[in-house]
């Protein structure tokens, strides 16, 4: 079977990271969130179901779309 050294390295890193947190998914995710904040990069957070079905959230979404359209000249 063909092996990809990059994929193998990713699996090794993921295994080491999980082992460092005793394979506790909550702790692993908390560490990734901490790393995201420390990186200084901007990350996208998707809306959850309650926000999608919220009429106020939908109104805001429509307003954002309108502003984008106005800015782009469309």
**Tens digit of each residue's pLDDT, the chain (74 residues):** 788 999 999 999 999 999 999 999 999 999 999 998 899 888 777 766 655 555 555 566 666 776 677 777 75
> Cα separation of 13 and 6, whole Å?
11
Which token pair is 65? 């779309």
Which token pair is 64? 């954002």
Q: pTM here?
A: 0.52
End-to-end CA distance of the chain: 52
In 3D, which of 43, 17, 44 has the Cα closest to residue 29?
17
């Amino acid at each position: 079977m063909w092996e990809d050294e990059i994929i193998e390295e990713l699996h090794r890193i993921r295994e080491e990271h999980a082992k460092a947190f005793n394979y506790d998914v909550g702790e692993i995710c908390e560490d990734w969130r901490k790393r995201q904040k420390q990186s200084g990069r901007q990350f996208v957070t998707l809306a959850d179901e309650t926000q999608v079905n919220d009429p106020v959230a939908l109104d805001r979404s429509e307003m954002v779309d309108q502003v984008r359209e106005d800015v782009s000249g469309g």
